[in-house]
Structure 1
Amino acid sequence: MRSSTVVIIPTYNERENISSIVHRLRLAQPDVDVLIVDDNSPDGTGVIADSLADKDSAVSVLHRTGKEGLGAAYKHGFRLSMDRGYTTLVEMDADGSHDPEQLGSLLAASQNADVVQGSRWIQGGKVVNWPFFRRLISRVGSTYARIMLGLRVKDVTGGYRVFTAHALTTINLDTVESHGYGFQVDMLMRANQEGLRIVEVPITFVDREFGKSKITLGIVVESLFRVTLYGIKGLPSRFRGKPRPETSGDTAESHATSSP
């Protein structure tokens, strides 16, 4: 019987990491399925992913024709997973920065939320092996997005998340324009606008040991541009005193105490 939960792992040149992360995930959450979305990695990641799927019926692979960005990969994975009947959909990086052993806390929180954000920047969350400059960029980026978009979530750019199928249907993926890492901000903004309940749970984020980060200056500029554009477009409704959804943006200082 198929699980109701699937972890979606986008990959591009992650041959050194994909086997380890899938192995750890399957040990930590044996009742959860895995969908690897590979963007035609030239280093052979897709071949390794196929081998993992051949050995484990809970693992499947979606091969895409080229590198189109993180957001495009997730949207494709979301649509396929919902077509397959999954009701809980998880975002997870392939590089080991998202601890599979912490997924249980996020899934537990999803029982009473539409979106669960694994957060580095709330009480109990932390970052390991990041230089000061990377921490600064992440925290400043999240703060800027919070102010511009009127969000209460403290880790706006984090990519360790759980969505219910209801949340993704409500957001309407066809309207999400961002393809790069700005996709993460875009999704939270739309979830907040729709009045969905967003909860943050503390996580430990560990910088990758193998391979290269996909973050580039162009990706950062795209994210800042879109946040600024969305913020300016949303100013009229904020100045009119449009009420904020009562249930959105719950931060996890209080929630973390009740999460396993």
Structure 2
Amino acid sequence: MNDGGQRRYGPLGRALVIIPTYNEAENIKAIVSRVREAVPDADILIADDNSPDGTGKLADELAAEDGQVHVLHRKGKEGLGAAYLAGFRWGMDHDYGVLVEMDADGSHQPEELPRLLTALKGADLVLGSRWVPGGRIVNWPKSREFLSRGASTYSRLLLGVPIRDVTGGFRAFRRETLEGLGLADVASQGYCFQIDLARRAVAAGFHVVEVPITFVEREHGHSKMSRDIIVEALWRVTAWGIATRAGRQPGRTSN
């Protein structure tokens, strides 16, 4: 991982917080309000996968009331990775310099966004991390903590990625970083999508920084975690690890 020591970073530019949604009607208004208060200069893109609970309609109402809130309506539930990729494309098409990943369910605290953006002034990618000193989780069952820690440890060791929280989804990218990750080749979802982008950033020599966050279990709705997401992450990470150890860097791009 590049230490970024001698690199001079340009200004960040406008920030876009991308919030994928599927059945988040109970959460969307509160999370948008908190983001707007925490980072008033940032815009928000709600990428809704045609939620049957009316999340998309609520998002449209929020956008009608606030010119800094935008909505991307997608045809159906295609997975977290596809939603973020669509959001990245939308953001880059609209000339944003910073693109942020953040969950809709309140597990990522909008009040911590300023720290991520401050750290990005001297980095290519900033990860909100649960597993570095100062990071913590609230109201998670031990089984979820074991799964998350285990997935990050397995990925870090197998892929040789020096990141403590490889699976975390609270992230701030410079536009140039995303342009260097080969996003057209990304097909992974869920946990695996976050691991994929992290390994691509490291392979490309980008300077990646982790800052501690507090991760809070959602209060409303249901987790999107599933057996299929876990299985996909396991086999993809294993395949990438084998390829890396064989001297190939799948998905590697140059900075």
Q: Same fold (TM over 0.5)?
A: yes
Could you say which residue in structure 1 is the equivalent of 2:3? none
Deviation at 1:166, TM superposition (A): 0.3
Write out aligned runs for 1:79-118 (5 A): 79-118=89-128
The answer to whether structure 1 residue 37 and structure 2 residue 56 are counterparts is: no
Q: Give per-residue Cα distances to partners, 1:149-190, cap 9 Å, x unaligned.
A: 101100000000001110000002101120333100000011
CA distance, structure 1, for counterparts of residue 247 and residue 207 of structure 2: 20
Q: 2: CA distance between counterparts of 1:237 and 1:117?
A: 27
Residue identity in the other structure for 1:103: L
Between 1:95-104 and 1:229-238, the stretch displaced more is 229-238
The aligned counterpart of 1:160 is: 170
Which amino acid counterpart does residue 37 of structure 1 have in structure 2?
A
Q: Is 2:127 aligned against 1:123? A: no
* 1:188 partnered with 2:193: no
Instruction: Please point out which of 70, 75, 81 is paired with 1:71.
Output: 81
1:18-46, Cα deviation, whole Å (9 max, x unpaired): 00000011011111100000000000000
Contact kept, 8 Å, 2:189 with 2:229, in 1: the verdict is no
Aligned partners of 1:5, 1:180: CA distance in 2, in Å?
Answer: 23
Runs of at least 4 residues off by over 6 Å: none
Counterpart check, 1:13 vs 2:23: yes
SS at match of 1:105: helix
Q: Which runs of 5+ in 2 are unaligned?
A: 1-12, 249-253
Identify the residue that residue 255 of structure 1 maps to in structure 2.
none
Structure 2 counterpart of 1:57, one-letter code: G
Q: Distance in 1 between matches of 2:68 and 2:54?
A: 21
Counterpart of 2:247 in 1: which secondary structure? helix
What is the total number of aligned residue pairs between the two structures?
238
SS in 1 for 2:246: helix
Amino acid at match of 1:215: M
Identity of aligned residues (%): 57
Residues 182-209 of structure 1: CA distance to partner in whole angstroms, max 9, x if unpaired? Answer: 1000000111110011000000000000
The Cα RMSD (Å) is 1.4
> Which residue of 2 is the match for residue 253 of structure 1?
none
Consecutive unaligned residues in structure 1, runs of 5 or more: 239-244, 246-260
